[in-house]
Amino acid sequence: MTSLAPGVATLRQEQTGRADADAVDATLAASGDASAFERLYRAHVGRIHSLVRRMLSDQDVDDVAQDIFVRAWQKLGTFRGEAAFGTWLHRLAINVILGRRETLGLRRQRYHEGDAVLETVPARKAQVEMTMDFETAIEQLPDGARQIFVLHDVEGYRHEEIAEMLGLATGTSKSQLHRARMTLRRHLER
């Protein structure tokens, strides 16, 4: 806590918590305020678009990101404010991404193919921009392993949660993550 002695206290410019602003905008947007929803979009589009890009590689990323925000607009009435809006939006995004049937079909196929696919991912020469190199390596992973790696290591979900999302056994999630990491370690700059 901060104490002020009697006297003059000039208020300085500081940043307001993101969560407070999101909660206000979510309330406004739920009542139909598209400007408030646009503010939410601009605050979260970077994270959502990046999530889509990493989960789906280059498959219609912009379209899927749009789908996510449209779905969020439709579902705003279900946002209760118990979690931060960003968390709620993120879970909704995952549901949209995983709901794409082609992706589901691809994921199941990749899980059956297993290790052999992972071993064919070529190592890349080190590039000046390590970030892009590593991100590119992630995109080169097979779909199933990539999604598990993104959900666990990038987004922070637990294996139990990932298993439930993807309809897998926890053990499968763990082994796929390990294999993704083993592949990606070759693409870290030394």
Partner 1 sequence: MSDPWTDRLSEYVDDEMPPGDRQMFALHLRHCAECTATLIELKRVAVRARALTDREPAADLWPGIAARIGATTPSSGVPVIPVRRRAGGRWSFSIPELAAAAIALMAVSGGAVWLLRPAPASLATTPLPVAPSSPATVTPVPAASRPRTAGYDAAVSDLEQVLNEGRGRLDTATVRVLERNLAAIDSAIAEAQRAVAADSANMYLNSHLAATKRRKLELLRQAASLVTAVS
Partner 2 sequence: MLLTAAIALSTLALTTQIDTTVTVARGQRLEANAFGGEIHVTMWSRNAVRVQADPTSRTQVVVSTSGSTVSVRTEGRRGPASAVDLAITVPAWMSLDLSGVYTDVKVEGAKGPVTVETVQGEVSVTGGDGIVSLSSVQGSVDLRGARGRIEVHSVNEDVTVSETTGEIRAETINGEVKLAKVDATALDASTVNGDVTYDGPIHDGGRYSLSSHNGDITIAAAPTTNAVVSVSTFSGDFESEFPVTLTNGRKGRRFDFTLGKGGAQIELESFQGTIRLVRPGSTAMKDDHDHDDDD
Mention every residue, 6+ apart, whose C-beta is less than 8 A from residue 7.
Answer: none
Q: Which of 3, 10, 120, 131 binds partner 1 (CB under 8 A)?
A: 131
Map tokens 């929803």 to a residue: 37
Phi, psi of 128 (to 5 degrees): -60, -45
Q: Which of 9, 116, 123, 128 binds partner 2 (CB under 8 A)?
A: 9
128 contacts partner 2 (rule: CB under 8 A):
no
Quote the CA–CA distance of 128 and 117 in Å, as a whole number.
27
Site string for partner 2, 20-59 (x = CB under 8 A): x---------------------------------------
Angle at CA 21, nearest 5°, toward 20 and 27? 95
Nearer to partner 1, 104 or 153 (CB): 153
140 contacts partner 1 (rule: CB under 8 A):
no
Phi, psi of 7 (to 5 degrees): 140, -155
DSSP string, 90-119: HHHHHHHHHT-HHHHHHHHHHHHHTHHHHH
Q: Which stretch binds partner 2 (CB under 8 A): 6-14, 49-57, 61-69, 103-111?
A: 6-14
4 contacts partner 2 (rule: CB under 8 A):
yes
- Residue 77 binding: pick among partner 2, partner 1, none (C-beta 5-8 Å cut-off by kind): none
Map tokens 């999530």 to a residue: 51
Query: Would you state the structure tokens that stand for residue 72, as one six-digit string?
Result: 């969020």
Nearer to partner 1, 137 or 166 (CB): 137
Residue 175: exposure state from Cβ atoms within 10 A (0-12, 13-18, ≥19): middle
- Chain residues that interact with partner 1, rule: CB under 8 A: 13, 15-18, 20-21, 24, 27-28, 31-39, 41-43, 45-47, 49-50, 53-54, 61-62, 65-66, 69-70, 73-74, 131, 134-135, 138, 149, 153-154, 156, 159, 174-175, 177-178, 181-182, 184-185, 188
